[in-house]
Amino acid sequence: MAEEKIVLLIDEEGVISAKTIGFKGEACLDALDKLLGPQTITSIKKTDEYLQQVSAKSSIKINMKRK
């Protein structure tokens, strides 16, 4: 059993930044899409963890802007 973790930071303006830990490959993007819905993503930063092992557990950071 693997632990999947998402850390959300909601700033003073309601803008959400998200960081995923422990997802496999693109699953992190899918998880965020399901979680946050059709919000405007302003940036996606793939972390070293993601780039090194896309097939393994991955980690990304995204910034989402309110609609």
**Among 25, 36, 44, 46, which residue interacts with another protein (rule: CB under 8 A)?**
36
Q: In whole angstroms, what is the distance from residue 39 CA to residue 54 CA?
A: 24
SS3 12: coil
**Among 5, 30, 43, 54, which residue interacts with another protein (rule: CB under 8 A)?**
5
Burial (Cβ within 10 Å: 0-12, 13-18, ≥19) of residue 6? middle
**Among 26, 42, 53, 66, which residue interacts with another protein (rule: CB under 8 A)?**
66
Task: Verify binding: residue 30, another protein, rule CB under 8 A.
Answer: no
Interacting residue ranges for another protein, rule: CB under 8 A: 1-16, 34-37, 66
